[in-house]
Amino acid sequence: MRRCLGTCLRGRRWPAPSMDNGTKKELPCPMMGFLLRRVLNPNFAADHPENRTRIGMLEGWVSALMSLVLCVVKGWLGLVSGSVSLIADATNNLTDMGSSLVVALGFQWSRKPSDEEHPFGHGRIEAVATLVLSIALLVVGFEVAKSGVARLVNPKPVEAPLWIMVAVGITVVLKFWLAIFARSLAKLSKSHVLEADAWNHAFDVVSTLLVVLALVCSRMGWAAVDGWAAIFVALFILATGVKFAREAIDILLGKKPDPEEVEAIHCIVEAVDGVLGVHEIMVHQYGDVKMVSFHIEVDANLTVIRAHEIAEESEDAVAAQMQWRAVAHVDPVDRSHPFFDELFLVLNRYVVADPELIDFHDLRAAGTESPYTISFDLVTGQGTGRNRYDAIYERSLAMLVLAFGERVAVAEIGIEASVDSAPMVRKQFCVIPEPRK
């Protein structure tokens, strides 16, 4: 029934990647492998919830410890040299320590099993941890910017002997390793919060390099560069905070699923024997737990027991191939009407040719003879806004008139998005105008 939007994923399996293969491929240094071998459960894949939690806690505690060391070192160097940009960078590392603690504790809390108050577990606490991390970045960004502006208004000489510059350079190397460490673990675990922490460490490397530049310029007598470096560091921090705040809020509010995932569900369910079509796919994510509900169309002449079996087979197919919990709703379709097949073929060609439509369902025809009363629901792609519905109605009505002339008297057309919580919009049209009395 539905039009294929791309490469059909029918029969595609979604297994968890091998932990051994993923670990060997993603880790760039032996130290990371050593740490992972101490914490991972070899019975599960690297992105399995059990190992995902362990990886997150490892990254969080390692980052927190190293950030504390860097904060103390940079703070002392900043006091000795009088560099506001170096003190700002130390403050940034202090916030990194707090954020990394939030990451570690967030993964630890997410391991809590479901309970009466949280029947779907505590998986979304990872998004909360990301939001806390982003808020911390925003606060630090504003404070660093204030320090930079103050130094520009009141420039002061900076004492930057060579040994201080070498020490700051060593902190850059340590932070660079920490960024690679977090990024590698983020790839293994497929964790957004670890990816956020990795980017945070990467921007710390850039900000510390700016501090080094400011120290070099101060040795040459350009004291104002120290203030400008602090401001640039603040811009990096603020941009990162805004980016990950938006991502965390999207997850907490319920963002749209990936179109490829929706396409995969279509192909998996339509491959089940007895399924005539699938629509109204709803995806809900609770951390590692994903749930999906959908409507399937089956022949109205089937027994209730057989229709129920098809629904269960559809749920099992999604659970087996995507590891999601699935719930199927059955919509019976009566294909016995003599006008049904012709109407189905015309409507199918129309949907395939229209770039704003991807599917149709609940097709019905009524009446013992021409002109008939028909009804159907059209499904738009995720990129089609509701402001386009009137134009779609007009095109659909024109298509019916052109294809069937006076053989259709009344048409009831519904339009809905492929993934949307808003109700369907339905309109009824008199294709053949009623005669005036």
Residue pair 392/427 in contact (Cβ under 8 Å)? The answer is: no
Does the pLDDT of residue 20 top 50, yes or no? no
Mean pLDDT across 143-153: 75
How big is the CA angle at 218 (ends 140 and 77), to the nearest 5 degrees?
55
Mean pLDDT across 214-230: 72
Residue pair 343/310 in contact (Cβ under 8 Å)? The answer is: no
**Minimum mean pLDDT range among 32-46, 57-71, 190-204, 249-263:** 32-46
Does the pLDDT of residue 109 top 80, yes or no? no
In the structure, how many helices (H) and strands (E) does the chain have?
A: 12, 7
What is the model's pLDDT at position 1? 45
Residue at 5: amino acid letter? L
Mean pLDDT across 161-180: 84
When computed from its CA atoms, the radius of gyration of the chain, rounded to whole angstroms, is 30
Q: Is the dihedral of CA 245, 249, 251, 256 positive or negative?
A: negative
Does the pLDDT of residue 55 top 50, yes or no? yes
Is 129 or 429 the better-scoring residue by pLDDT? Answer: 429
- SS3 of 66, please? helix
Helix 192-219 vs helix 162-189: crossing angle, to nearest 10: 170
Q: Which of 47-61, 129-143, 221-235, 268-282 has the highest mean pLDDT?
A: 268-282
Residue pair 416/280 in contact (Cβ under 8 Å)? The answer is: yes
The 10s digit of each residue's pLDDT in 69-108 is 988 888 888 888 777 777 777 877 877 787 777 777 767 6
Distance CA 319, CA 325 (A): 6
- Phi and psi at residue 430, to the nearest 5°: -90, 100
Is 50 or 175 the better-scoring residue by pLDDT? Answer: 175
**Minimum mean pLDDT range among 288-302, 346-360, 386-400:** 288-302
Residue pair 11/271 in contact (Cβ under 8 Å)? The answer is: yes
Both tokens of 122, joined, read: 């505590």
Distance CA 203, CA 141 (A): 12
What is the model's pLDDT at position 196? 76
Q: Model-level pTM?
A: 0.52
Query: Do you know the residue count of the chain?
Result: 437
% residues pLDDT > 70 (the chain): 77
Does the pLDDT of residue 11 top 50, yes or no? no
Does the pLDDT of residue 48 top 50, yes or no? yes
Both tokens of 279, joined, read: 């629509």
Report the chain's mean pLDDT, rounded to a whole number: 77
DSSP 9-37: -TT---PPPPHHHHHHHH--SHHHHHHHH
What is the model's pLDDT at position 349? 93
Three-state SS for 166-219 is: HHHHHHHHHHHHHHHHHHHHHHHHCCHHHHHHHHHHHHHHHHHHHHHHHHHHHH
Query: How many Cβ atoms sit within 10 Å of the Cβ of residue 290?
Result: 18
Mean pLDDT across 364-379: 89
Does the pLDDT of residue 4 top 80, yes or no? no
Residue pair 223/157 in contact (Cβ under 8 Å)? The answer is: yes
What is the model's pLDDT at position 313? 94
> Which domains does the chain carry?
19-253 (1.20.1510.10), 259-430 (3.30.70.1350)
Distance CA 290, CA 265 (A): 13
Does the pLDDT of residue 14 top 50, yes or no? no
